[in-house]
Amino acid sequence: MVKVLVVSDPPDYDQPWQTQGAESSTGSGVIVETARGLRILTNAHCVQDHVYVEVRRYGRSKKHVATVEAIGHECDLALLSVDDDVFFQGVTPMAVGPVPELGDTVSVCGFPVGGERVSITRGIVSRIDLVRYEQSQRMLLALQIDAAINSGNSGGPVVRGNQLVGIAFQALEDAEQVGYVIAGPVVTHFLEDV
């Protein structure tokens, strides 16, 4: 588990010669194995318009500077690297598992707004379907779960057992306890393409 701390400077589309000004936000991430070594997987919307990114591992206080290595706005995923090898010492990366079945229990892990400690909530997979991803407005495979996905949970791992089944990324407005998870096959496709 990783907390992602971002300073961004989004453009002002009404006045394109200037920006909206610096903003700070947080998200979550998970350490995965890629062809280039260990990396942090998070949501693209967490690091969009980034100026500066830091990451902090669960249970550690030291923050490390991270670089956005790849970003897929269509699937709302991003890959971060950290130059300091100390960051990854003792880490076992999460492997992407199969798509869970309807009714399976999954755990959403992350750092939602309102606290500095990790939060773990459990939910049931209630739907597996094509869903409109807010980041790109594309219809891609996603899991619908009845666990809350709050601001700050974005980019966090959704696990079943010890396998990554997806990445938390959005909630349904005007509905309680409806969250969406980027499905494992979409995650795998992104990791293979970058």
Query: What are the catalytic residues?
Result: 45, 76, 154
Of the candidates 151, 120, 135, the one whose C-alpha atom is nearest the C-alpha of residue 23 is 151
**Residue appearing with tokens 């598992």:** 97
Centre a 10 Å sphere on the Cβ of residue 178 and count the other Cβ atoms it contains: 19
Three-state secondary structure call for residue 180:
strand
Token representation of residue 169: 């990324």
Contact 144, 127 (CB under 8 A): yes
Three-state secondary structure call for residue 118:
coil
The helix (run of H) or strand (run of E) holding residue 187 is helix 184-193
Q: Give CA–CA dist 187/191, Å, rounded.
A: 6
Q: Give CA–CA dist 156/149, Å, rounded.
A: 10
Cα separations (Å) of 39 from 36, 79, 109? 8, 6, 18
